[in-house]
Chains A and B, each alone.
Chain A
Amino acid sequence: MALPKAKQDATEAFLAQVTLPEGAAWASAARKAALERLRDMGVPVRRDEYWRFTRPETLFERPAPEAEVFVADEEPVFGAIDRLKLVFVDGVFDAEASDDPAMDGVEITRLSQAAAADIHWARELYGVLEARSHADVPRPLAALNSATATDGVVIRVTGKPVRPISLIYLHGDRTSDAVLHHLVRVEPGAEVTLLENGPAAARFNKCIEVDVAEGASFNHVRAQGRDHERRAVTHMFARLAARSVYKSFTLTANGVLTRNEAIVEFTGDDAVAHVAGAAMGHGAFHHDDTVFVTHAAERCESRQVFKKVLRNGAVGVFQGKILVKSGAQKTDGYQISQALLLDDESEFSAKPELEIYADDVKCSHGSTTGAIDETALFYLRSRGVPRGEAQDLLVLAFLAEAIEEIEDPDIAADILSRLESWLARRRD
């Protein structure tokens, strides 16, 4: 369908500023194709149904809005976890700060190297899941990422590496505008854990395409930093083969604007996907979780758990969809989105959707919004717990269901202690 004139003009004006990175023939072709997809879809505008609750302009318009570099006075997250570290500073790989990428059961390359090679398996995945996803809803910022990503990591998991792979994104320049694209292929029966943390840049556009083969397992835990002014738009595309397992958890605190999209497609039977998120927003904070799960196989289980605690004008958004295609019988789909509003300044908007074309399924979604339960608060206070502490306890209890989705107990404990200290810091 032809785009409206205004959108077409805005898109052409934007595309005129875009230059594609150099690479081998396949990489250049993939980038050009992605740019054409962007041209066809047009840049997102507020009037788009998919951007109903979040203003997209500052996520792509150039130049990127500046963001003050935030100096944390605490240990970075995952500090105590034994992991293989790969560090990016403002979107540029920092070899000095990174570990040697050699590890049993996994092959790690940089995207910039893979894209320069004439023959590399990455060509079979790069931009492929992103391109597939537009059939349901156009995701132009993901196409923009595939077209312009300057680097990333390309991971092929063949065994069960002992340490998690940890991507650390540091922010050092208040005008940085980073675009990274990662590829992960988990071969049959293999298992891997991917950790991500840090603000990355003043503005960060990131895509991960994850291809999980039969019986393989992919675990993902992400902590989006406490930087106040950074902006981020991220997409995680996952394709799940039979009996595979996909688990992803995201903790977000602060950031002026965050849009996290998760796009999961079941292509093989008996697979499992859990996507969870906990967000704590304070002040100028706009956080949007957009999830799209497609069941195109039988007996798969999907679970979405999203919790947001909002105060002092923070805005939370949840758009979640479960699409059950015809023939995807015995699907078990569950989705819950909840927000705790701590004051009258904060807002929460949700659009939890079900689209179902198979009859033998069990799908449900729930969404609740409200204040802290005064009765519970009163109970704790009557037991001698001070008001601030009592409120924190209830907030943690509220977030618990999402945190329980983290598989590894050490990582879960790390995330939990982080939440506790942030809450204590903000206590009145």
Chain B
Amino acid sequence: MTVLDEQTDIRDGVDHETVAAVKSMAGKYKHGWETEIEMEYAPKGLNEDIVRLISEKNNEPEWMTEWRLGAFRRWVEMTEPDWAMVNYPAIDYQEQYYYAKPKSMQEKPKSLDEVDPKLLATYEKLGIPLKEQMILAGVEGADASPAEGRKVAVDAVFDSVSVGTTFQKELEQAGVIFCSISEAVQKHPELVKKYLGSVVPVSDNYFATLNSAVFSDGSFVYVPPGVRCPMELSTYFRINAENTGQFERTLIIADKGAYVSYLEGCTAPQRDTHQLHAAVVELVVLDDAEIKYSTVQNWYPGDENGKGGIYNFVTKRADCRGDRSKVMWTQVETGSAVTWKYPSCILRGDDSQGEFYSIAITNNCQQADTGTKMIHLGRNTRSRIVSKGISAGRAQNTYRGLVSMHRKATGSRNYTQCDSLLIGDQCGAHTVPYIEVKNTSSRVEHEATTSKVDDDQLFYCRSRGMDEEEAVALVVNGFCKEVLQALPMEFAMEAQQLVAISLEGSVG
């Protein structure tokens, strides 16, 4: 690798690192390109008229418009949270576009065949072909392999609108509803009305309230009682337009005894200005149901000096309402300039289970403050948290979590493990767990360690002929193994590659 060749020439540790980082940065973020496509924007800025306009564009009924306006009025009264260990210049909310839609989507295409080929090409390039064929989503070139392909239904969201959803027919036969949320508002208002905002209340926090006011699209999933969703569902979010915030809203309901696995991927073009992404994800899990939610977050992280990149301020929460319900969050966070994200589980039903597996990788000037909340309300509820934070360059990586055992959550159990790995002496890794226990029969265990990449392990790998970066990637992959194993197979492969890519240039 070029980086290694340089190492012999430049001896000054820090200088070398900068040189290597700059060199390897070129073309490093492989999704940084932009699709040239004619867009339709709502006027810049945010006020009640914009909220009404978004609602009108989505052809929403009265109640939905009122719901949004109510959220907007609350948002105006709120202040931006500042407790996370992240620093960024103040965001001017009036300097953003809140709605952007490709012109060709003026008339909603009736089927995928009618979708603008430019858009289809965009997703093709991202490795997400929107064709109904046997594919392995997310892995480049994998669709060429003839091995047993699995069906994955994809909902593709481009800036503010959903471009298309594949395999809708087949899912319908199984009774599963999988469509964009704007479509769900039209076709299944009773479900949307019943569940939207029931997990993340409108005024939950600053960014969730903002989202409630201006969300434009996102995915909606309803799996009826006793149905095991016949294929994995996935949504691919792409930010393309400049100065545009993306505010998607996802709502997944697993009715009694249902099961669904949902994957989410995200990318954005390389730009000098920061862009805001404030999403809300709500999961509702009823008796005996299970939702597996996996994310590979690879928004544009900004350049090596922290210029540009996405502000990723996301509220994700699962409500395990039913007895014996189960939720599993898995996330690989490698992108975004600033991440503020805490996928949580409210374990309300007796014997319900929540799991959280996370890898957060920060390099260069990235900052991540991420973790989870496990709120145990029901009896014999169980939760498990495995968090791996890796910090390189001048990045800051924080795990922030809450485990709360309420008085009635007797016989409950939590195990938390958060490990941090530091690569280089300019970065930081932090752990901020909160533990609250209010009954005696529950057990809570928390463990955290911070260390650097083990020299012995590196030496061993290098003595076997690997170069330094390969060796680091291997050790880091080993460090993350527990989380990578929890990912669906398609994602696990992509995630492993991402772990290696996002650390490129951090060895010095």
Task: Report A's interface with B, CB cutoff 8 A.
Answer: 49, 326-327, 329, 339, 341-344, 346-371
State whether the Cβ of B170 lies closer than 8 Å to any Cβ in chain A. no
State whether the Cβ of B48 lies closer than 8 Å to any Cβ in chain A. no
Task: Report B's interface with A, CB cutoff 8 A.
Answer: 83, 85, 405, 407, 410, 420, 422-452
Partner of B427, one of A339, A359, A361: A359
Q: Once the chains are docked, how many angstroms separate the CA of A188 from the CA of B427?
A: 35
B436 touches A349 (CB 8 A): yes
Return chain A residues, CB-CB under 8 Å to B428. Answer: 355-357
A370 touches B449 (CB 8 A): no
A354 touches B435 (CB 8 A): no
B420 touches A356 (CB 8 A): yes
Q: Once the chains are docked, how many angstroms separate the CA of A368 from the CA of B451?
A: 22
B452 touches A352 (CB 8 A): no
Q: Once the chains are docked, how many angstroms separate the CA of A405 from the CA of B49?
A: 66
A361 touches B452 (CB 8 A): yes
B450 touches A371 (CB 8 A): no
Q: Once the chains are docked, how many angstroms separate the CA of A49 from the CA of B434?
A: 12
Q: Answer whether A353 and B439 are a contact pair too, CB < 8 Å, given A359-B424, A359-B452, A363-B449.
A: no
Residue among A326, A354, A371 with most chain B CB within 10 A: A354
| Chain B: CB-nearest residue to A367 | B446
Partner of B442, one of A352, A358, A363, A370: A370
A344 touches B439 (CB 8 A): yes
B451 touches A362 (CB 8 A): yes
Minimum CB–CB distance from B300 to chain A (whole Å) comes to 26
Q: Answer whether A366 and B447 are a contact pair too, CB < 8 Å, given A327-B425, A343-B440.
A: yes
| Chain A: CB-nearest residue to B444 | A369
Q: Once the chains are docked, how many angstroms separate the CA of A327 from the CA of B428?
A: 11
A369 touches B437 (CB 8 A): yes
Return chain A residues, CB-CB under 8 Å to B431. Answer: 352-354, 365
| Chain B: CB-nearest residue to A363 | B450
A341 touches B430 (CB 8 A): no
Return chain A residues, CB-CB under 8 Å to B449. Answer: 362-364
B450 touches A354 (CB 8 A): yes
| Chain B: CB-nearest residue to A316 | B437
Q: Once the chains are docked, how many angstroms separate the CA of A342 from the CA of B443?
A: 12
B442 touches A369 (CB 8 A): yes
Return chain A residues, CB-CB under 8 Å to B439. Answer: 341, 344
Q: Answer whether A360 and B440 are a contact pair too, CB < 8 Å, given A326-B426, A349-B434.
A: no
Query: Can you list 10 residue pairs at the A/B interface with Cβ under 8 Å?
Result: A326-B426, A339-B437, A344-B441, A352-B433, A353-B430, A355-B430, A359-B424, A365-B447, A368-B445, A370-B440
Q: Answer whether A351 and B447 are a contact pair too, CB < 8 Å, given A343-B440, A358-B425, A360-B452.
A: no
A348 touches B448 (CB 8 A): no
Q: Answer whether A353 and B425 are a contact pair too, CB < 8 Å, given A347-B437, A362-B451.
A: no
Minimum CB–CB distance from B197 to chain A (whole Å) comes to 26
B450 touches A361 (CB 8 A): yes
Partner of B448, one of A347, A360, A366: A366
Return chain B residues, CB-CB under 8 Å to A352. Answer: 431, 433, 435, 446, 448
Return chain B residues, CB-CB under 8 Å to A341. Answer: 437, 439-440
B429 touches A356 (CB 8 A): yes
Residue among A326, A327, A339, A353 with most chain B CB within 10 A: A353
Minimum CB–CB distance from B454 to chain A (whole Å) comes to 11
| Chain B: CB-nearest residue to A361 | B450
Return chain A residues, CB-CB under 8 Å to B424. Answer: 359
Minimum CB–CB distance from A87 to chain B (whole Å) comes to 40
B425 touches A347 (CB 8 A): no
Q: Once the chains are docked, how many angstroms separate the CA of A254 from the CA of B430?
A: 34
Minimum CB–CB distance from B14 to chain A (whole Å) comes to 13
| Chain A: CB-nearest residue to B397 | A356
B425 touches A359 (CB 8 A): yes
B437 touches A351 (CB 8 A): no
| Chain B: CB-nearest residue to A364 | B449
| Chain A: CB-nearest residue to B418 | A354
Q: Once the chains are docked, how many angstroms separate the CA of A204 from the CA of B450?
A: 38
B445 touches A49 (CB 8 A): no
Apart from the given pairs A362-B449, A371-B441, 17 other A-B contacts in the complex at a CB distance below 8 Å: A327-B425, A344-B440, A344-B441, A347-B436, A347-B437, A353-B433, A354-B431, A356-B428, A357-B428, A359-B452, A361-B451, A362-B450, A362-B451, A363-B449, A364-B449, A366-B447, A367-B446
Q: Answer whether A366 and B446 are a contact pair too, CB < 8 Å, given A49-B83, A329-B425, A359-B425.
A: yes
Minimum CB–CB distance from B437 to chain A (whole Å) comes to 4
Q: Once the chains are docked, how many angstroms separate the CA of A357 from the CA of B434?
A: 21
B440 touches A351 (CB 8 A): no
Minimum CB–CB distance from A361 to chain B (whole Å) comes to 6
Q: Once the chains are docked, how many angstroms separate the CA of A364 from the CA of B449?
A: 4
Return chain B residues, CB-CB under 8 Å to A350. Answer: 433-436, 446
Return chain B residues, CB-CB under 8 Å to A49. Answer: 83
